[in-house]
A = this chain, B = another copy of it.
């Protein structure tokens, strides 16, 4: 008998309960033991629903049942969920969670606690929603030295960027649309300012590089400044604009950021649209590997929680050390690497002076720079892509550019190589 306690019956939790009810027979047959929903911990009663017989109000009642082998912590927020994970692990019960705040803040501690109590703490659903990526990193491609991860890890912003371009919308308009469809919160900051994606890339980086990356160290820029004209200009040069949560191993340590970037159309990430997410890893043996799927949503995320439960059913003991309890990663805070930059400017040029701008861009930003043209949507906005330069060099170059050309620099984004 292997009872699962579902803690928090919100969007994801109710999905976990649904799947456990639907797949009881299939899971029980495979693992040769009765696998079932044991309890649902929630302040609500859910009277008249299939959940009603399982409701519990108190953790200790659930812990008193020896058949409860696993807690599925699908409660949001930090403190209560964290304490619940601790309590269950200390009582010798496995814990799986979709709560990325808890994993990003306490994952290392909880993994150690699980190890000490000879149980498991898994969190596939905490990054990439329904996409299998943490287990592949931990097992399938673990032999590789991973030196880079580039991901689209937030469905809300990817929905917004996709829709902004497709329907020629402003940031405010597409945000309202996303809110109306339930893809964005009333307070959208965690999504649109990149904080949600920052937690997820910190989790994935910690696993990939075998060293703890603090999510507070992720350099975070959201999508509030992106306008439709940027999409149009980027597309005309062969790029899509995506909010990229990425990290890279460099000489001095890990470079980790969340920021909108121009992604070349030949890169699979450029084809990831709407609420879909994807994670691209670069391994020493595999080269590029990409994992793509729904990054959020009730049943997709619940499917990932079930993947952790299935992993534990097949492997209840741990024969290897936890994934990311080792050393702290050295996070490079000052970004001194060279990139190509996309630059949007407001033109003071007269119509028809595009040749003059193009040669001025090339003279200032180097032979590899490329003037894209003016946006159709707003003919006063133009764009170009620079040659490789550092952020500091870019600042100096744009200053030089605005001194000789009659333009105002409005916005810059990095180009993903």
Which A residues form the contact surface with B (CB < 8 A)? 15, 19, 23, 26-27, 29-32, 124, 130-132, 135-136, 139-144, 266, 268, 270-273, 276, 278, 283-294, 299-300, 302-304, 306-307, 309-311, 313-316, 318-321
Contact = CB atoms under 8 A, between A and B. Distances in A.
A121 to B, nearest CB: 15
B307 A142 contact: yes
Contact of A310 (B31, B139, B309, B313): B139
Contact of A300 (B131, B270, B286): B286
B136 A136 contact: yes
Contact of A292 (B289, B318, B321): B289
B294 A291 contact: no
Nearest to A321: B30
Nearest to A276: B288
B31 A320 contact: yes
Contacts of A19: 143, 285
Given A136-B135, A310-B139, A299 B321 contact: no
A142 B310 contact: yes
A321 B304 CA distance: 21
Nearest to A271: B271
Given A140-B307, A319-B316, A320-B31, A290 B293 contact: yes
Contacts of A313: 319-320
Contacts of A132: 132, 136, 139-141, 289
Given A143-B23, A143-B307, A313-B319, A293 B286 contact: yes
12 contacts: A124-B140, A130-B287, A131-B289, A132-B139, A132-B140, A135-B135, A271-B271, A285-B306, A286-B299, A286-B303, A287-B300, A292-B292
